[in-house]
A and B are shown apart, each in its own frame.
Chain A
Amino acid sequence: MSNLTTVLKYEFYNVLRSKWIIFYTLFLAACTFGFYEVADSFEKIALSLINVLVPIVSLVSILFTATYWYSSERFTEMLLTQPVPRQKLILARLIAIIGALSCSLLVGIYIPFLVHGDISWGSGVIGLASIFLTIVFSVLGVLIGVYISDRMLGIGLGLGLWFYMVVIHDALLLIMLLIFKDYPLDVPSAILGAINPVGLSRVVLLMFFDAPLLLGHTGALIRSLVETGAGYYYLTCFAIVWLLCPTFFAYRKFIYRDF
């Protein structure tokens, strides 16, 4: 077993046994089962679930990862005193945290889907978008952890970042559109909307379920771009940038920082 798989395996066990991860799974399962009780079609259940999943998955991912990173700082130091290259250590820990959070998420939402026999493209897209959010926000949590040594400041920043992406970003965009309403702002607004990973995943999900009324202002703009064909290209590019950039900066900082 290589260094990477060894660290990954034990970190994965450790995260998966956390009581918060168990609570997260149960919460998601309860929500999904609950939506089955009150809605009569899969589309309605999916739309309700999306509205819960997008803010909750991003919040849990960034807060859990940042908190876990800070609380395991001394163990990180201990691992660094072992013959393990730093490059392998950060990758193994990152994959373990994302893997455990994703497992918890998938178990929480797919058990109700399985019980009700709703395994379809729709449920697949919900799973993929949620995993995308889990990866992006977990990496942001690690990024905060490796750059900011003050735990309170780091967790506060994580919360602020989440609040910005879920609430403030769209509000700022709307204010900008109101101020510059006399100018043609469709393309810049759509790009600014998709810069936000929360907006990005929300739009992809709601477009798949063909629910334009729920898209909000950002979503409506991106949707108009998607209909021209170029939008898919932009969405994919933004998603790749969100997956790779924070990972690169966290990886680079971890390799060169002092502990």
Chain B
Amino acid sequence: MIEVKHLGKSFGNLSVLRGLDAHIKKGSITGLAGPNACGKTTLIKILLGLVVPDHGEILLDGKPIKKGSDYRRFIGYMPQNADFPANLTGRELFKMLQDLRQEKSTNLEDLIQLFELENFVHKPFNTLSGGTKQKIAATTAFMFNAPILILDEPTVGLDPVAALRLKDLVIRSSQQNKTVLLVSHIMSEVEQLVSHVIFLLEGQAVFSGDVENLRVQTGTTSLEKGIVKLLASAESRPSPVRDASL
């Protein structure tokens, strides 16, 4: 389980996360939703160790991640716009990651086949298209069977076949009790995949729970409508965030 406790982060005068609390259940596919600049990326970056929080902490199975980098071997990450060293090949990248983690991937060849990368993994990255790089990024996220998967807009740039295969892979991962954290602005995709939602607004979680609960709470029939209603109601009244800042 991932537990986010009173997480705060400011960049200069801009307060991005303001005492964020959230729980991400083990084995769930949790969608991280919210308008632009609500703190989604910052939360993910703190979880990945790219950003240092000002206060609060994140616990992975009860252990704080603040110190050390070893916990990252339990995380598979797929960034929104992947980029790799221009003069290396996919094969070299996979070998590098295996050497870094000192762990041999057992499903690498299956993933290469799944994303139809056989003809591209021997070519340098500066000759590959953005979509092919995204497929390689997906492969790097899934190749170690990491128990936590963080996927940032995973299907953007992928062709429909690869996107469908990736979504199946996400569902299969959840069935294998892996925790998936998904950021996506494609609501149909979120609706199709996630079992839980964390809705962020101005650096705080205004909703955290399962999708069914969100539908019931907002009296709507779909996740998309529920989120829109949540956003509208949060904007129509002074939020706890605004109160706190007064």
B87 touches A81 (CB 8 A): no
Would you call B82 an interface residue if the criterion is a C-beta within 8 Å of the partner chain's C-beta atoms?
yes
Find chain B residues with CB under 8 A from A256 CB.
52
Query: Is B72 in contact with A259, judged by CB distance below 8 angstroms?
Result: no
* Pair A10/B101 contact, Cβ less than 8 Å: no
B75 in complex: contacting residue of A1, A6, A81, CB < 8 Å:
A81
Query: Is B51 interfacial (CB-CB < 8 Å)?
Result: yes
Asked whether A1 and B99 contact (CB < 8 A) given A74-B81, A75-B85, A82-B72, the answer is: yes
Asked whether A258 lies within 8 Å of B52 as measured between CB atoms, the reply is yes
Do residues A258 and B87 form an inter-chain contact, with CB atoms below 8 A?
no
B100 CB–A CB distance under 8 Å: yes
Residues of B within 8 A of A72 (CB): 83, 85
Of B50, B82, B86, B92, the residue contacting A258 (CB under 8 A) is B50
Partner of A86, one of B48, B69, B70, B75: B69
The residues of B that contact A11 with a CB separation of less than 8 Å are: 85
Task: Give a binary string over A14-33; 1 marks a CB under 8 Å from any B CB, 0 the rest.
Answer: 11011000000000000000
Shortest CB-to-CB span from B116 to chain A, Å, is 22
A80 and B79 contact, Cβ closer than 8 Å, known pairs A10-B92, A14-B88 = no
Q: Chain B: how many interface residues by the 8 Å CB criterion?
A: 33
Interface residues of B in 43-99 (CB under 8 A from A): 45, 48-52, 68-73, 75, 77, 79, 81-88, 92-93, 96-97, 99
Q: Cβ of A259: which chain B residues have Cβ within 8 Å of it?
A: 45, 50-51
A79 vs B50: C-alpha distance in the bound complex, in angstroms? 10
Q: Which of B75, B87, B100 contacts A84 (CB 8 A)?
A: B100
A153, B203: Cα distance in complex, Å: 31
Contact B96 A80 (CB under 8 A): no
- Tell me the bound Cα distance from A7 to B100 in angstroms: 8
Question: Shortest distance in angstroms between B76's beta carbon and chain A's nearest beta carbon?
Answer: 9
Q: Decide if A248 is an interface residue (CB 8 Å cutoff).
A: no
Query: Are the CB atoms of B72 and A81 closer together than 8 Å?
Result: yes
State the Cβ distance, A4 to closest chain B Cβ, in Å.
10
Of A72, A74, A256, A258, most B-chain CB atoms within 10 Å: A258
Closest to B52 in A: A258
Complex Cα distance, B97 from A3, in Å, reads 10
**A41-90 interface (Cβ within 8 A of B):** 71-72, 74-75, 77-86
Secondary structure dominating the interface of B: mixed
In the assembled complex, which residues on chain A have CB atoms less than 8 Å from the CB atom of B97?
82
Determine whether the beta carbon of A6 is less than 8 Å from that of B100: yes
Per-residue B-contact encoding for A111-135, CB less than 8 Å = 1, 0 else: 0000000000000000000000000
Report the Cα distance A71→B96, complex, angstroms: 19
B-side contacts of A75, CB under 8 Å? 83-85
Asked whether, in the complex, the Cβ of B48 is within 8 Å of the Cβ of A80, the reply is yes
**Are the C-beta atoms of B99 and A14 separated by less than 8 Å?**
no
- Measured CA separation A11–B92 after assembly (Å): 11
A33 to B73, CA, bound (A): 51
Note all chain B residues with C-beta closer than 8 A to A81. 48-50, 72, 75, 77
CA distance A84 to B70 in the complex (A): 7
Q: Nearest-CB distance from B32 to chain A (Å)?
A: 16
Q: How far is the CB of A192 from chain B (nearest CB, A)?
A: 36
> A80 contacts B88, CB within 8 Å?
no
Name the residue on A nearest B71 (C-beta).
A83
Is B96 touching A10 in the complex (CB atoms < 8 A)? yes
**Chain A hits for B50, CB < 8 A:** 77, 80-81, 258-259
> Would you give 25 A-B contacts (Cβ < 8 Å), ordered by A?
A1-B99, A6-B99, A6-B100, A10-B85, A10-B93, A11-B85, A14-B88, A71-B86, A72-B83, A77-B79, A78-B82, A78-B84, A78-B140, A81-B49, A81-B50, A81-B77, A82-B72, A82-B100, A83-B72, A83-B73, A85-B68, A85-B69, A258-B11, A258-B52, A259-B45
Known: A10-B85, A14-B87, A74-B81. 15 other contacts (CB 8 A): A1-B99, A77-B50, A78-B79, A78-B84, A81-B49, A81-B72, A81-B75, A82-B72, A82-B100, A82-B101, A83-B72, A83-B73, A83-B101, A85-B69, A258-B45
A-B pairs with lowest CB-CB distance, top 5: A17-B87, A74-B83, A14-B85, A259-B50, A6-B99
Q: Taking beta carbons and an 8 Å cutoff, which residues of A are in contact with B?
A: 1, 3, 6-7, 10-11, 13-15, 17-18, 71-72, 74-75, 77-86, 256, 258-259
